[in-house]
Structure 1
Amino acid sequence: MASPAPFSRYEFMIAWRYLRARRAEGGVSVMTWISLIGIALGVMALIATLAVRAGFRAEFVDTILGANAHSTVYMAPTSFTNDLTGEVYTQSGVIEDYDALTARIAALPGVTRANAVVKGQVMATAGDSSNVAEVFGVTEADLAAMPRIVDPETSAGDLADFGNGVAIGSGIARELNLGIGDRIRLISPDGAKTPSGTTPRVNAYEVTYIFSAGRYDIDRTRIYMPLAEAQSYFNREGVADEIEVFVSDPERVGDWTPALMQAAGDRSLVWTWQDASGSFLSALDMEDDVMFVILSVLVLIASMNITSGLIMLVKNKGRDIGILRTMGLTEGAVLRVFFLCGAFTGVIGTIAGVLLGVALALNVDNIMAALNALTGGGAWQPEVRGIYRLPAELRAWDIFRAVALSLALSFIVTIFPARRAARMNPVEALRYE
C-alpha cells in the first residue's frame, strides 16, 4: 500500500484540530493568540512604515520636480589679464546668447523643454511686515509649464495677468498679509549705479497670482517675475543667469550632464536636482533599510512566540503523538502536522497584518490630520518637515517583502518544535498512559 503524499488532507485536519485547543489546554490557545496578534501587528507596522517612507520620498521628489528644474546650466565667471596694461578683468557668469543656447539645449534628445531664468535676492515688504525672498524671472509660458505652480486647487488668481505683476508663494502672502490685487514692495541691494556707488532699487508690484508648491520653504521665499521686468530690475538687460532644463526621466538626470555641458561650451557648469537634494534622498534610502531591519526584528520576536506555543502543544499532545505513531504515521507526517500548526498561525497573522497595514497606510493622512487637530497643529510641522502632509504610497514590492519576511520567519521557527515532536519515541510517550 502506497504511503500518503506529503501534506495530505488528514495532516491539515489534525493540525487544525490541535490549534483549536480545548478548555483544559487554554495555555496553548493563549500562546497561539499572542503569536497571531504579534505577527499581525509586526506586519502591519512594517507595511505602514514602508508605505509612509515611500510616500514621503515620492512627495518630496514631486514637490522638487513640480517647482524646480531637473538640471540648471550656468556659466562660471572667469578672470584674464591684459598683456599690455597688466590689468585683471573678470568675465561675469551671465549668459549673453541665452536664446540660442536655450534652443540648442531644447533640441537635445530626451530634453523636454528649456528656458532662461534671471534670479536675484530681495527684501519683500508690505506694510510693517517684511520677508527675504528669491525672485525668479521667467516668461508666462515657462511659468505655466510648472505643474505645482499652476495647480488650480492650490493657487489663487489668474495666470494670464502674470505680465502685469508678480506671482508669490502662499507663505509670503500669509506672512505679509497679501491677497490678489495687493502691492508688494521689493528691495534689491543691486540697484542703480551712480557716481557715489550703487543704490538699492525699490519697486512695487501688484500681486496677480498666489501659488502653493507643496514645499514650505518654497512657498515662503519664492516670487516669480516676468523675465523682461526681472532683467531690468536686476540690471541683466539682454542676459540671463542660467538655463533651466527639464528631461524625460528626472531620476536619470545625470545621464544628460555631458551633453548639456558640450552644448553650453567650455565655461558651462551643470547642477541637477539630485546634486541639490541627493544627500537627503540618500539618507531616506538608508533610513528605509534601517527601519526594515528594525521592524523585521519585531516580526521575528512575534514569530518566536510560535515556538513557545508549539513546544507547549507538543508536550500536551505527547500521548496523541504516540498513538499516531503506533497507527502508522511516519516521523515526516508528524513533523508536517506540527509544522502546519505553526504555519497556520503565521499565515493567518500575516494576512491580518497585511489587511491592517494597508488600511492604516490608506488612512494615515486622515489619522495625522486628526492628531494635528487634537494637538493644535503640533503633530506635523511643515516648517520642519518641508511638506504639508504625511503621505503614504503602497508599493507591491514593499507588501511582498513584508509578507515574505513574515512567512519565512514563521516557517523557520516552526521547524525546531516540529522536529522534536517527530522524533518523540512512541514507547516513551505511552509508557505512563
Structure 2
Amino acid sequence: MTWISLIGITLAVAALIITLAVRAGFRNEFVDTILGSNAHVTVYSSIYVEDGDTSREIKDFDVWADALRAVPGVTRAAPLVRGQVMGSFRGSNAAVDVYGISYDDLLTIPRVGQNPDEAWGDISRFSDGIAIGSGVARELGVAVGDKIKLISPEGAKTAFGTSPRVSSYEVVYVFTAGRYDIDKTRAYLTFSEAQKYFNRQGAADEIEVMIEHPEKVDDIAMHLLTAVGDRGMVWTWRDASGSFLRALDIEDNVMFVILAILVTVATLNIISGLIMLVKNKGRDIGILRTIGLTQGSVMRVFFICGAFTGIVGTVFGVALGALFAMYIDNIMSFVNYLNGGGAWDPSIRGIYALPAELRLVDVLKAVSLSLGLSFIVTIFPARKAARMNPVEALRYE
C-alpha cells in the first residue's frame, strides 16, 4: 500500500507540473507570436463620405503617425496599406493578405524583420520585390528569386468598369514568424507599391502602433484616440485575441482543479496504508502505551510514516515533471516517430511545436497542494492510532 501511495502521488504531481508547464508555455508562445507579428494597437478611421462614396482611408496618415509617435509609451507608428489578393505561381494559387509598409518599419517587426524563426533571402532587397511567409511559399511552391503574380479584382477603373489588376513581384525574402495562420497568408510590399496596387494614392488604410508595454495596452488606448482626434478608432491586440486568451485562462483553472482531484485521490491511498498499519501494529501500540508512551508520541510516529510517503512522492513527482518539461521537444519527437508523423498539427494548434515553460510558481503550487493534502489525510489514521485503548489492544494477546 505504501508503494502504491508513493507511485500514485509521484505520477499525480508530475502530471500537474507537466500540465501547468505546457499551458504556460503555450500561452506565452501564442502571445509572443501575436505581439511579434502584429500591431499592438491598430488605429483606423471611422467611415466618412467623400465625393458621394463612403471611405475609411486615412489621407493625412503622416500627421496621424506623428501624433501617435508623440504619445508616451509608443515605440513605433507605421502607416499601412492592406488588401487581400490571390497569389499565383505556375498554376498554384493561394490567398494572400498583403501589407504595404516601409522598409524601415518592416525591420522593426520582431518576428519578421528582426528575429524570425527562420528566414531565407535578403531583406535589404525589400524594395525590389515582395516578402512572403513560409506557408505562402510552400503552398505556391516558390523560392527566393521566383516571381509570383498578385491578382486583385479591384484594379484599374475604366469607362467599362473595374478591371482585375495583375502584377508580378520577385520573392526577395521568405520568413517564418512562428504562427501557422500568419506564415500561410502574410506578405509584405513596399508602402508606395502597395498604394499603387490597391489604388490608395496618397492614403493609408490604418496605422500600426507598437508600444513599450503591450500588457498595458488598455491604459494607453484612450491616449491614442485623443492624439488622432474624433475620427480615430482603435483595435488592440487584446480585442483581437482576448476571447482566446480568456478561454486559455478558464482552461488553466479547470485543468488545475481536475489534476488537484487526481492528487487528492493519490493521497487518499495514504489513509488506506496507515489504517492497515494501525491494524497490524495494534499489539505494539498497546505495549508502547503501557510503558508510558503518550498519545501525542504515538500520533507523531504514524503522522511521520504517512507524511514521509507524501514528501518522497512529491519530490519524485517534481523531478519527473521537471525532466518531462525540460525535454518536451525530445519526447514529442519520439511520440511523433511512434505516431508516424502528424502528432502535432500546426494548422489546428496555430504554433509549430508543443512548448513548455517550467515556472517556479507552478512548481510551488503543485508541491503545496501535494504536501498539504498528504499531511491532512495523515492526521485521521494517526489520531485513531493515538486514541487506541491499550487494554483493548492487548485483550486477546
Normalised to the residue count of structure 1, the TM-score between the two structures is 0.90
For residue 148 of structure 1, give the secondary structure of its aligned residue in structure 2: helix
Preserved CA contact (<8 Å) 1:135 1:225: yes
Distance (whole Å) between structure 2 residues aligned to residue 245 and residue 340 of structure 1: 60
Distance (whole Å) between structure 2 residues aligned to residue 368 and residue 414 of structure 1: 38
Partner of 2:104: 141
Matching residue's letter, 1:429: A
Aligned-pair distance for 1:376? 2.9
Distance (whole Å) between structure 1 residues aligned to residue 39 and residue 92 of structure 2: 30
Preserved CA contact (<8 Å) 1:157 1:210: yes
Correspondence list, 1:112-191, <5 A: 112-150=75-113, 151=115, 154-191=118-155
Percent of residue pairs bearing the same amino acid type: 63
For residue 149 of structure 1, give the secondary structure of its aligned residue in structure 2: helix
Aligned-pair distance for 1:275? 0.6
Partner of 1:264: 228
Per-residue CA distance 1:217-270 (angstroms, 9 max, x = gap) = 111101100001001111111111101111111112111111111111112110
Matching residue's letter, 1:95: I
Aligned-pair distance for 1:375? 2.1
Distance (whole Å) between structure 2 residues aligned to residue 257 and residue 90 of structure 1: 29
- Alignment CA distance shift 1:198-1:97 (3 Å): same
Match of 1:103 among 66, 71, 77: 66
Preserved CA contact (<8 Å) 1:77 1:90: no
Aligned-pair distance for 1:362? 0.9
For residue 302 of structure 1, give the secondary structure of its aligned residue in structure 2: helix
Match of 2:161 among 197, 200, 206: 197
Partner of 2:38: 68
User: Aligned pair 1:370/2:340, yes or no?
Assistant: no
Correspondence list, 1:272-351, <5 A: 272-351=236-315
Match of 2:11 among 22, 32, 41: 41
The RMSD of aligned alpha carbons is 1.2
Aligned-pair distance for 1:177? 0.9
Aligned-pair distance for 1:327? 2.2
Preserved CA contact (<8 Å) 2:110 2:116: no
Aligned-pair distance for 1:78? 2.4
Distance (whole Å) between structure 2 residues aligned to residue 142 and residue 372 of structure 1: 39
Per-residue CA distance 1:42-95 (angstroms, 9 max, x = gap) = 000000000000100011111111110101000011248xxxxxxx93441111
For residue 112 of structure 2, give the secondary structure of its aligned residue in structure 1: coil
Correspondence list, 1:202-221, <5 A: 202-221=166-185
Aligned-pair distance for 1:96? 1.1
Partner of 2:376: 412
Matching residue's letter, 1:174: R
Distance (whole Å) between structure 2 residues aligned to residue 428 and residue 220 of structure 1: 77
Preserved CA contact (<8 Å) 1:40 1:349: yes
Distance (whole Å) between structure 2 residues aligned to residue 136 and residue 56 of structure 1: 27
Structure having the higher Rg: 1
Preserved CA contact (<8 Å) 2:44 2:233: yes
Distance (whole Å) between structure 2 residues aligned to residue 165 and residue 93 of structure 1: 27
Distance (whole Å) between structure 1 residues aligned to residue 373 and residue 227 of structure 2: 55
Match of 1:50 among 20, 26, 30: 20
For residue 389 of structure 1, give the secondary structure of its aligned residue in structure 2: coil
The farther-off stretch of 99-108 and 31-40 is 99-108
Aligned-pair distance for 1:120? 0.4
Per-residue CA distance 1:175-233 (angstroms, 9 max, x = gap) = 11111110010011111010111111100000000000101111110110000100111
For residue 269 of structure 1, give the secondary structure of its aligned residue in structure 2: strand
Aligned-pair distance for 1:366? 1.8
Distance (whole Å) between structure 2 residues aligned to residue 327 and residue 38 of structure 1: 37
Matching residue's letter, 1:139: S
Preserved CA contact (<8 Å) 2:151 2:166: yes
User: Aligned pair 1:239/2:199, yes or no?
Assistant: no
For residue 137 of structure 1, give the secondary structure of its aligned residue in structure 2: strand
Correspondence list, 1:350-365, <5 A: 350-365=314-329
Aligned-pair distance for 1:427? 1.4
The farther-off stretch of 152-161 and 377-386 is 152-161
For residue 29 of structure 2, give the secondary structure of its aligned residue in structure 1: helix
For residue 111 of structure 2, give the secondary structure of its aligned residue in structure 1: coil
